[in-house]
């Protein structure tokens, strides 16, 4: 990715920046990116009972003990302050054990959708380059075939286009070879939707693969380059992007064991992997710290550390219900919103990823919960759906006072 490539040319500068950021988190001083940035404070200062919040340790440690996950990083932010930031268990079990660290880089899986793809689309909306109610064929004429002529950009964002959930990776690879962005795209172009567009919610990775093509076609930049230049670099998210470089591998949490060995630095999702790691639906890598910056930017109405990425109205469009319980990027009330738990409010929103990652934001409580695991390591046999809900419940139950104001 562009951000990583720039870091590779100045590795010592990147390492110094990381050290400064971690020092800011642990010491409570201002971060390196600007004046009003995330800082660590006691839970009590943010209206949270520390003893109640501490119960989350047991919940996560039990999930490690029963082999649901090898390890985790949990970051909880309230009113602009870090109130809990902890690494648990193991980053890797194979080929050798490695302790989890706060700066571990995770395969974000479908968290890619809001943090990379939808965000890039909304930047194009803000600049007047596209309109969400336009038919996709206005920008991608070859897409408008086989019953897809009426599908809009908004329907792709909200999973109401009724495109098939996925594409047959093995069949595409057999015809086109690997990697093949063109082969995946041609399969989407050639196949009709599963139902009449706009008639129901059908979660589909192909929606976001199509959106990545739209970003490239309209902006002239591939999704990885566009997101890095327009979002991550302005915010100082130095460990976020696609296709991590070799020097980052030591901090990356490995995922599944396949025939060729354990995946580490290669995206877990087969469709994204078939496309060379940049698929629109998956492929992003990031850390809890960087996601905290992104989440706080969203809570701040599009601004963080003196840098404005979105306008407040764009954030509202992304995070409130627009079509069938989804915003233009974030999940609000769909069947996939179980990571809200049982106590957080109806205005909260976020997204989860298949590998075991999740970001959930409650604007009413000025709360961000980031739980990153690599639950597919070394085998894809467990579910973290209950764990996400339990963590959200414990954090919500620790809130004792109203929020204290955003930073």
pLDDT tens, residue by residue, 287-332: 999 999 999 999 999 999 999 999 999 999 999 999 889 999 999 9
The model's pLDDT over 134-145, given as tens digits with 9 standing for 90+, comes to 999 999 999 999
Q: For residues 230 and 93, give the distance between their C-alpha atoms in angstroms, rounded to a whole number.
A: 36
Report how far Cα 207 is from the mean position of its chain's Cα atoms: 16
Pairing of strands 81-92, 39-40: parallel
In a structure prediction context, what are the per-residue pLDDT tens digits for the chain, which is 407 residues long? 445 544 433 343 443 344 334 433 333 333 333 334 789 999 999 999 999 999 999 999 999 999 999 999 999 999 999 999 999 999 999 999 999 999 999 999 999 999 999 999 999 999 999 999 999 999 999 999 999 999 999 999 999 999 999 999 999 999 999 999 999 999 999 999 999 999 999 999 999 999 999 999 999 999 999 999 999 999 999 999 999 999 999 999 999 999 989 999 999 999 999 999 999 999 999 999 999 999 999 999 999 999 999 999 999 999 999 988 999 999 999 999 999 999 999 999 999 999 999 999 999 999 999 999 999 999 999 999 999 999 999 999 999 999 987 54
pLDDT reported for residue 56 = 98
pLDDT reported for residue 164 = 98
- Cβ-count burial of 311 within 10 angstroms (0-12 exposed, 13-18 middle, 19+ buried)? middle
Nearest CA among 169, 393, 385 for reference residue 281: 169
CB neighbours of 116 closer than 8 A, spacing ≥ 6? Answer: 223, 224, 227, 231, 242, 280, 283, 284
Query: Is there a contact between 319 and 363 (Cβ–Cβ < 8 Å)?
Result: yes
Residue 77 β-bridge partners: 82, 368
Q: For residues 354 and 357, give the distance between their C-alpha atoms in angstroms, rounded to a whole number.
A: 7
| Domains in the chain: ranges and CATH | 2-107+237-397 (3.40.710.10), 120-219 (1.20.58)
């Amino acid at each position: 990715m562009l951000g990583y490539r720039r870091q590779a040319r100045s590795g010592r500068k990147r390492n110094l920046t990381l050290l400064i950021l971690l020092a800011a988190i642990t010491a409570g001083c201002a971060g390196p990116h600007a004046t009003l940035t995330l800082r660590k404070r006691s839970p009590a200062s943010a209206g949270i009972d520390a003893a109640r919040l501490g119960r989350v340790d047991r919940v996560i440690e039990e999930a490690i003990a029963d082999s649901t996950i090898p390890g985790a990083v949990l970051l909880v932010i309230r009113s602009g302050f870090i109130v809990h930031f902890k690494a648990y268990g193991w980053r890797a079990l194979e080929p050798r054990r490695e302790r989890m660290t706060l700066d571990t880089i995770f395969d974000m899986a479908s968290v890619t959708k809001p943090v990379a793809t939808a965000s890039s689309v909304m930047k194009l909306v803000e600049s007047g380059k596209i309109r969400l109610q336009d038919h996709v064929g206005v920008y991608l004429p070859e897409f408008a075939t086989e019953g897809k002529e009426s599908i809009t950009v908004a329907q792709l964002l909200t999973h109401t286009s009724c495109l098939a959930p996925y594409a047959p990776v093995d069949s595409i690879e057999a015809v086109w070879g690997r990697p093949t962005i063109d082969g995946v795209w041609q399969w989407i172009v050639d196949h009709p939707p599963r139902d009449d567009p706009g008639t129901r919610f059908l979660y589909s990775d192909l929606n976001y693969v199509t959106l990545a093509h739209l970003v490239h076609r309209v902006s002239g930049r591939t999704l990885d380059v566009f997101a890095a230049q327009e979002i991550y670099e302005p915010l100082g998210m130095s460990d976020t992007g696609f296709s991590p470089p070799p020097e980052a591998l030591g901090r990356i949490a490995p995922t599944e064991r396949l025939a060729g060995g354990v995946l580490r630095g290669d995206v877990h999702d087969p469709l994204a992997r078939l496309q060379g790691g940049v698929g629109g639906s998956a492929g992003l890598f990031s850390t809890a710290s960087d996601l905290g910056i992104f989440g706080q930017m969203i809570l701040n109405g599009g601004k963080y550390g003196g840098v404005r990425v979105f306008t407040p109205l764009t954030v509202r469009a992304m995070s409130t219900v627009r079509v069938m319980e989804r915003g233009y990027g974030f999940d609000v009330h769909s069947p996939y919103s179980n990571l809200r738990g049982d106590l957080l409010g109806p205005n909260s929103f976020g997204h989860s990823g298949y590998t075991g990652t999740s970001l959930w934001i409650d604007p009413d409580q000025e709360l961000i919960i980031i739980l990153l695991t690599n639950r597919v390591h070394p085998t894809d046999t467990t579910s973290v759906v209950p764990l996400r809900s339990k963590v959200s419940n414990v954090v919500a139950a620790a809130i004792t006072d109203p929020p204290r104001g955003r930073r």
